[in-house]
Amino acid sequence: MDFYYGMAQLIGVHTLLGLSAYVVLLTGQVSMAQAGFFAIGAYLGGMLTVLAGLHIVPAMLLAAVASALVATVVGFPALRVKGLMLVVATLAFGEAVRIFWFNFDYQIAKGNIQVGPLGGEGFKQIRYFPENGWSTADVAIFIWAWVIAAMVALWWMDRSRVGSVLRAVGEDELAAQSVGINLTAVKVSAMGIGGFIAGLGGAIYAHYTTHIEHLNFGVVLATFAIAYPILGGLSSVIGVLLAVIFIQGFLVEVLRFMGDWRNLLFGALIVLAMNVRPDGLFDARATRALKRLLGGRDA
Amino acid sequence: MLELRNLSKHFGGVRAVEELSLTIGQGEIFGLIGPNGSGKSTTVNLICGVFPTTSGAVVFEGRDLTDAPSHRVVAAGIGRTFQNIRLFGDLTVWQNLWVAQNSVKERETGWLTRWLGGERRGRDYAEELLKFAGLSDRSGELARNLAFGEQRRLEMARALAARPKLLLLDEPAAGMNAEEIRQLATRIRALREHGMTILLVEHVMELVMGVTDRIAVLNFGQKIAEGEPAEIRQDPAVRTAYLGTADA
């Protein structure tokens, strides 16, 4: 049973990561910085519970706010570059964050052991959940409460005018400006929201693995983050969830028996999925079908 | 209402617009014509803040809008359409208008009143615009699935959704057939009835001559003539520069 709870936790955290990239991608920005924001959330969240002794919820929120602020700051220079240049710039930022944590030491004595981030050795003993007697099931439920809250919030935003404005910017910046949209405000806000969600995801991640190190937050994670909304499609937040389940649940787990060959097939299957459903697993047609099914209006 | 003062734009060595001065009065339909590459679209883009001016000034209702960012130009009350249609293709017809209303609300009221009552008013206005553009039955359709003529009408409606006082139409008749042009002329006149001021950049002479009050003619970025349609038709400089081969 624990295996399934572990799976649910992983999928939940990666969904948050994917959602953070989704918001930014709506405005047409391909950001490879999401793993960096995720790392900031993870380290700060861990430090707030372990070193400052905060409750998990305020620790997560504070870590997410810090991530959002950093993301906003990154958002301004990112406005000046587009397309591949933005990919490279955000990738560089993500790596800079990773290197920062690689060099960052801040330990204090707690009982007879030293706790806190210790450079390349990572940040061990983030034991908030076990110390407070949370079971794996409790943690899984806790994570999913956040995931559902984030998905509902983004779903609602997507249906509101804000969603259309973000998409308008993603489609045609010149036209968006011509109808009075402030590009700077929209793109930087999207970065900020994305940073917040990534920070939340990171803070939870740090607590359920109990041990983080800089290598967790490298290019592979950044690639996953952006792959989820691309694979899932930009028509709805549901797509992100489906893509995470497809990659983390199906590709990673089901193909485990293949050993090292898995990674090869893994890439091939993503390419295949993109070819079969070019607009993502959950495209506009699927959204409409679902809306009809639920009896909602076709807005 | 709109005043261009010695407006210039150079792209490297190319003088796209050179020392252009124009005054457009309230409620006027002003035509801007000229051969291809004479600087008409550049002028529109300069007014809208798409790229910075080389020199000169854009003054709208007494306020200096030179090099103001696009969204501020829209907030000041200037709307535009594009020569090559630029709709949000993956949004529905309705959402295209909805997006354009975004800036209006911020100008009108605080967020609380916007929340409480603004939405409904915006919706009514958008429905009115759809009727005006003849797209009432297409509101749920994706913009990219519309026919060419419908897209042109939607783009005009979208520009109006931001409630401009001055509308810049950049070759709205391009690619239209005679019947569609006739309908366009009717729409332009209807807008004037509602007090809209319009700057019409156009190639199609029958439309420009038919609906405008005054016309300015550009050639190589410079204004070579200005006057009422009848005067322009007679102007020898214009005839050689532009109308010489066209049957005006």
DSSP per residue, B72-109: HHHHHTEEE--SS----TTSBHHHHHHHHTHHHHHHHS
- Facing residues of B166 across strands? B78, B197
B41-60 residues touching A, CB cutoff 8 A: 48, 50
- pLDDT confidence of residue A204: 96
pLDDT class for A298, splitting at 50, 70, 90? very low
Rounded CA separation B122/A108 (Å): 58
Which residues does chain B have with pLDDT short of 70?
Answer: 103-120, 242-248
pTM for the model stands at 0.88
φ, ψ dihedrals at B246, nearest 5°: -80, 155
Structure tokens of A233?
Answer: 């499609």
pLDDT class for A299, splitting at 50, 70, 90? very low
- pLDDT confidence of residue A91: 93
Rounded CA separation A30/A32 (Å): 7
Residue position matching structure tokens 């679209």: B41
- How does pLDDT run across B85-129, given as a tens digit for each residue? 999 999 999 999 999 987 665 555 555 555 555 566 778 889 999
In what helix (H) or strand (E) does residue A163 lie, and over which residues does it extend? helix A161-171
Residue A293 CB neighbour total at 10 angstroms: 8
Q: Is A114 on the interface with B (CB under 8 A)?
A: no
| Average pLDDT over every residue of A112-126 | 89
In this complex, how many residue pairs, one in chain A and one in chain B, have their CB atoms less than 8 Å apart? 81
Pairwise CB contact (< 8 Å): B71 & A175: no
DSSP per residue, B130-156: HHHTT-GGGTTSBGGGS-HHHHHHHHH
For helices A183-209 and A2-26, what crossing angle results, to 10°? 170
ipTM associated with this complex: 0.88
The amino acid that residue B229 corresponds to is: P
pLDDT of residue A297 exceeding 60? no
Residue position matching structure tokens 């003993």: A125
Contacts of B12 by beta carbon, 8 Å cutoff, 6+ apart: none
Residue position matching structure tokens 């992983």: A10
- Average pLDDT for chain B: 88
Pairwise CB contact (< 8 Å): A299 & B140: yes
Largest CA distance in chain B: 59
Largest CA distance in chain A: 63
| Average pLDDT over every residue of A245-271 | 79
Rounded CA separation B125/A214 (Å): 54
Say how many residues make up chain A. Answer: 299
Pairwise CB contact (< 8 Å): A175 & B86: yes
Q: Are B44 and B2 in contact (CB under 8 A)?
A: no
DSSP per residue, B204-242: -HHHHHHH-SEEEEEETTEEEEEE-HHHHHH-HHHIIII
pLDDT of residue A241 exceeding 70? yes
